[in-house]
Amino acid sequence: MHLRIVDAFTVRPFTGNPAGVILLDDVFPDDDRLQNVAMEVNHTETAFAHPLPEGGDTDWALRWFTPVTEVAMCGHATLATAHVLHTTGAHEGPVRFATRSGVLIATPAADGSLTLDFPTAPLTPAELPAGVAEALGTQPLAAFDTGPDVGDLLVELADEKTVRGLSPDHKALGAYSARGIIATARAEDPARGYDYVSRCFFPNIGIDEDPVTGSAHTALAPYWSPRLGRDDLTGFQASRRTGLVRTGLRGARTLLTGHAVTVIEGDLRA
């Protein structure tokens, strides 16, 4: 297996969200093998992809594993995989991935960015579970369920400063959703180049804080676009590494646009 480490949703190495990317010549090996490799890579996600026969509805099969489990959807590792396919010449033009979340399409642009076409998360208002405020360290203004594909509880906080200052009890947060918590607020100053901020905590899949989360933005886009009156927005994920995700709400689909940078390349020897 040939491994690349790609920083996604960034133009600078050592920022954004790192993902392992492994392009396979043929079908996926057994699940234990994939999980062990992802555990060894030890980034938030490792993506495994192999080409599919020509003439079908999809071009590559794609799966994603955290260090502890397989996930149903991952934005940054999809962006990273598309980046590797295009920069290595393994695929030209839009690439259609067959995944557990259906067909996901990544389209390259002349400026080097890639746009992902993902399903929009269905947002359902939710009663704030008892204990969430204590686990976060602040009282949310509202809470929403993000549906089965994303599997998070989305909470709006008072302001950007509150989101940036969070120091949650990660273990306690695991009790309130399938994957974790998306905390968000309106940008304090849109002149800085983004419209809303977020941070994502996913203790249930072994990730205390995800650096930049594409899948979360399929819920953030339908949350903020109606409130800000625009379909096209930019989200800033205020993790330590930081990253920008341009979002385009298109009804049942959400477009996620960003850049990626390959930082490490090598071979797995075991």
Q: Which residues pair with 256 in a beta bridge?
A: 116, 247
Q: Which residues lie closer than 8 Å to 130 by C-beta, 6 or more apart?
A: none
Considering only the C-alpha atoms of the chain, give the largest distance between any 2 of them, rounded to a whole number of Å.
53
Q: Which residues pair with 202 in a beta bridge?
A: 207
Using CA atoms, how far apart are residues 134 and 129, in angstroms rounded to an integer? Answer: 10
Q: Is 265 a catalytic residue?
A: no
What are the two backbone dihedrals, phi and then psi, of residue 12, each rounded to the nearest 5 degrees? Answer: -120, 135
Which position among 45, 156, 160, 209 bears the catalytic label? 45
Burial of 93 (0-12, 13-18, 19+ CB in 10 A): exposed
Catalytic positions are 45
